[in-house]
Chain A
Amino acid sequence: MRRIVPFLLIIAVSALASTEAHSGENVWYSTLVPGWGQVRVGHYGRGALFLSGELVALTTLAVADIQYNRAVEQYDRAKASYLHATYIGDAVGEYTLMHERWNSANDLYGIRQTALYTAIGIWAVSVVDMILFDPEEEPPLSISARPDGFLVTGSFSF
């Protein structure tokens, strides 16, 4: 988990820099809370989808993380008992228990990682969605069809 934080910070700072450069305020809202920017521009369905998806993913992540940490503690205890066993009968029993605990921890690890990547994915999609489809932002160059040809429009801000 500690390794994830710097990446999230990098992305958040990049989002901030990006929004400052392009004045897309809603991107920053979506960076803070997935779906918030979409709600601000009136895309309530999409915003609710991002927000509820993020909440479900984060809740699953929190529960799975607690259970995973508990499972790792149990695995460490079983491993220590196995490594310190001095009777073959105890060693065999602890070896089996250690395998069961490891499998349990491994399963919970998988659930935790899935929830983590889902949360990050929803957040990233929400931010990218806001960047690409923010109606506040004028495209710098656009082309439209006219009966007598094409109209090319350029815009700039200062």
Chain B
Amino acid sequence: MRSFAWCVLGGIAALCISCGKDHRDLPTGFAYDPPPAPTNLVVTGGEELSTIRWSYPVPDRASIREFRVYEYFEAYDMIELISTTTDTVFVDSLLIGNLGYCYKVSAVDTSGFEGWRTGSVCAFVRSAR
């Protein structure tokens, strides 16, 4: 009987050793290296259009696939992608006049990963005469 008791205790010890973690290991470290955000964002309102300009460091341009231009709806804190471009200027046309328009811009690297968006910059768009 004592040998059986030892068998039970041995079995439990083996059980404790065999039970590893069932959930998978947590990925270590933050794996993303985002492209830097565009700088000096300027929005100029025109007649039913707005011109958005920004600058981007020349050394980083080689690793950039495109820039994404977003319209930012301040009242709802929402953004909408309106276009992509490889240039550092974009003209948003066919706008409704007498309204303010806000924009954000971000850079996308060659692997398709999007960096931080800029802060929003707004401009007033006039009606056509």
Query: Contact residues of A with B, CB < 8 Å?
Result: 1, 3-4, 7, 10-11, 14-15, 18, 22, 24, 68, 71-72, 75-76, 79, 82-83, 85-89, 91-92, 95, 98-99, 102, 105-106, 109, 113, 116-117, 120-121, 124, 127-128, 131-132, 137
Contacts and interface: CB of A to CB of B under 8 A. Distances in A.
Interface residues of B, number: 30
Nearest to B112: A86
A82 B114 contact: no
Given A14-B4, A89-B117, A109-B22, A7 B34 contact: no
Contacts of B22: 1, 68, 72, 109
A88 B5 contact: no
B21 interface: yes
A105 B23 contact: yes
Contacts of B7: 11, 14
B23 A127 contact: no
A141 B24 CA distance: 54
Contacts of B4: 14-15, 18, 131
Nearest to A19: B4
B76 interface: no
Contacts of B21: 109
Given A87-B106, A89-B116, 17 more contacts: A3-B19, A4-B19, A11-B11, A18-B1, A72-B23, A76-B24, A82-B27, A95-B30, A98-B26, A102-B26, A105-B23, A106-B23, A109-B23, A127-B8, A128-B9, A131-B4, A132-B2
Please classify the interface of chain A as helix (H, G, I), strand (E, B), loop, or mixed, using the class held by over half of its residues. helix
B113 A88 contact: yes
B58 interface: no
Given A106-B23, A131-B4, A132-B1, A87 B114 contact: yes
B23 A102 contact: yes
B15 A7 contact: yes
Contact of B11 (A7, A24, A75): A7
A45 B105 CA distance: 74
Contact of B116 (A88, A99, A109): A88
A55 B93 CA distance: 72
14 contacts: A10-B11, A11-B8, A14-B4, A72-B22, A72-B23, A79-B24, A87-B113, A98-B26, A98-B27, A109-B22, A116-B19, A124-B9, A132-B2, A132-B5
A98 B18 CA distance: 27
Contacts of A10: 11
A128 B5 contact: yes
Interface string B83-114: 00000000000000000000000100000111
